[in-house]
Amino acid sequence: MRNCGPMKTSDFGKWRSFFWPIHRSELKKFLPMFFIFFLIAFNYNVLRSYKDTIVITAAHSGAETIPFIKLWAVLPSAILFTLLFTRLSNHFTREKVFYITLSIFIVFFFLFAFILYPSQELLHPNNLADKLQHLLPDGFKGFIAIFRNWTFTLFYVMSELWSTAIFSVLFWGFANEVTSVDEAKRFYGLLTFGGSVAGIFAGYAAIHFSRNLFIPWLPYGSNAWDQSILFVSCTIIIGGLLTMALFRWLNTKVIGPSEKHSPPREKIRMSMRANFSYLARSKYLICIALMVFAYNVAMNLVEVVWKDQIRALYPNPSDYNSYMGQVIFVMGIIASLAGLLTTTKVIQRFSWTTCALIPTAIVACTGIFFFQFTFFPNHSLAWLNGLVNISPLMLCVTFGSIQNCLSRASKYTFFDATKEIAFIPLSNESKLKGKAAIDGVGSRLGKSGGAAIHQGLILMLSSVAASIPYVAAIFLVVILIWGLSVISLGKQFDVLVAHKAKLNIPEKDPVLKEST
């Protein structure tokens, strides 16, 4: 399929090139990829809502718990996943690695719904956690909470890893391997549109599951929130099974035998040292890593502040999750409209640099406005408060929601598409190692870096609210790094594409090779 001659956008009519630049011969390949992406994105968005709600609204917890979880639980788990993924990739085919990895997640959510969550009172060490709370300063509240509610922490970790393992590593790694640059410019905008539509459905599901609907005859839970955990877990499991079925069909009916039975790749070891060593030899990969790093840090810096305000406004888990569902629903609508009306056409018509700078500008502008309103809620919002008669807290939460919707929508449309297109000019071996290194360094350190910043400030200042001025200053520095890395990467990308060249990262460090 990939070896077919290049198909240009000019082959389509005006309206079709805008909305559906897909040839009939490509549907057998594109449609399964579209629905696989839709299901993965649906699960991701549902888990985004529930992972925050279940941790932030838990007993003796709050938004200050999130930085501790990301640094002390998510980061080690991501390292372990990278090692596991590398081992699996060295011994199994791409298809089998997909099934094994996805099965791990399906099994976990089954165990959480039917064993861990119902037994939380027996499993959570509340007495020991209470003793630690009396002994340690208030700044350690978040650290104690991840230990106290360890089953909820595990749910959060697996939900976070879904985006890294299933989204970035498995799906996009597969898509980049079987898609050419020309196909990517036409496919990826529509794929991200499908992910945005999935966000709409996920937001509606979160709202529906969070309503105060309790089914007395259902032998699960004592309230509506308990039963919503069952419903969402079953939804994740069913979505995962459908994803595996579609992926199997795609590999059986579409992917050619030459790709499936290609010679085994050189074994690699993706330790943190190997990731840094590999990135250090390529300015191109460093720029991609900085993009991913800066985006994750910037979003983490804003989101912890915003979620702390939501917790104050909606302390009840059902209300909190319902509100998060509404945010995801609106975010999906914005991203869908942007993907349908702008993303594909903008990527086709404008340079890679222009498209990649769009998320940078949106995150920067909305973030600055949000921190302005959060700094001075009574001063900045006085005129609006008098006009609509809404509390400053509600207005700050609303502005934070607007910031999150626009920033995430830009991520699902332009950021993801441009980032993945940037991998395509790499050689096959460099593409595999480069993506593993980016996911191992850029994404992982970005999320944990933002968490480390918040954690350090919370330990010194005891609360999220007191740390806001320092968070805002760091946010501006991160945005500057992001913009400069995009500009530098764009120049290198344009040169490679213009010369139809494949960038091959030289092997100089034996640490990248696994000794047998």
Distance CA 35, CA 303 (A): 29
- Residue 192, classed as helix, strand or coil, is helix
Domain assignment present for residue 514? The answer is no
Q: In this structure, is residue 515 part of a structural domain?
A: no
pTM of the predicted structure, to 2 decimals: 0.77
Residue 19 lies in a domain: no
pLDDT of residue 265: 47
One-letter amino acid at 436 equals: A
The C-alpha atoms of residue 137 and residue 149 are separated, in whole angstroms, by 19
CATH code of the domain in which 125 resides: 1.20.1250.20
Cα torsion 289, 291, 296, 297: sign? positive
CA distance 380 to 383: 8
Question: How far is Cα 218 from Cα 220, in angstroms, rounded to an integer?
Answer: 6
Confirm whether 59 is domain-assigned. Answer: yes
What are the residues whose beta carbons fall under 8 Å from the beta carbon of 170, sequence distance 6 or more?
Answer: 97, 98, 101, 102
Do residues 308 and 382 make contact, with C-beta atoms less than 8 angstroms apart? no
Domain assignment present for 245: yes
Ramachandran category for residue 60: left, alpha or beta (phi over 0 → left; psi -120 to 50 → alpha)? left
SS3 category, 503: strand
What are the mean pLDDT values of the chain's consecutive 10-residue runs (516 residues total)?
44 63 80 93 91 90 87 85 82 88 96 95 93 84 90 95 82 80 76 85 88 78 87 94 94 67 47 65 86 91 90 89 91 83 79 93 93 67 58 83 91 85 80 70 74 85 82 94 95 84 59 37
Residue 233 falls inside a structural domain: yes
Residue 334 in domain: yes
The one-letter amino acid code at 487 reads I
The backbone torsions φ and ψ at residue 102, rounded to the nearest 5 degrees and listed phi first, read -65, -35
Please report, in angstroms and rounded to a whole number, the separation of the first and last CA atoms in the chain: 35
Q: Residue 155, class by beta-carbon neighbours within 10 Å (0-12 exposed, 13-18 middle, 19+ buried)?
A: buried
pLDDT of residue 387: 59
Token digits of residue 166: 């299933």
DSSP assignment of 351-398 equals -HHHHHHHHHHHHHHHHHHHHHHHHSHHHHTHHHHHHH---HHHHHHH
Domain of residue 433: give its range: 25-503
Q: Would you give the DSSP letter of residue 513?
A: B
- Phi, psi angle pair for 8, to nearest 5°: -100, 160
Q: Which of 59, 52, 49 is nearest to 308 (CA)?
A: 52
Spatial contact of 482 and 290, defined as CB atoms under 8 Å apart: yes
- 378 class by beta-carbon count within 10 Å (0-12 exposed, 13-18 middle, 19+ buried): exposed
pLDDT at 388: 60
- To 10 degrees, what angle do helices 444-461 and 75-91 make? 160
Residue pair 367/475 in contact (Cβ under 8 Å)? The answer is yes
Q: What is the tally of structural domains in the chain?
A: 1
Strand, helix or coil for residue 312: helix
On whether residue 196 sits in a domain, the answer given is: yes
Cα distances (Å, whole numbers) of residue 274 to 82, 407, 416: 12, 32, 25
**CA 51 – CA 55 distance, rounded (Å):** 6
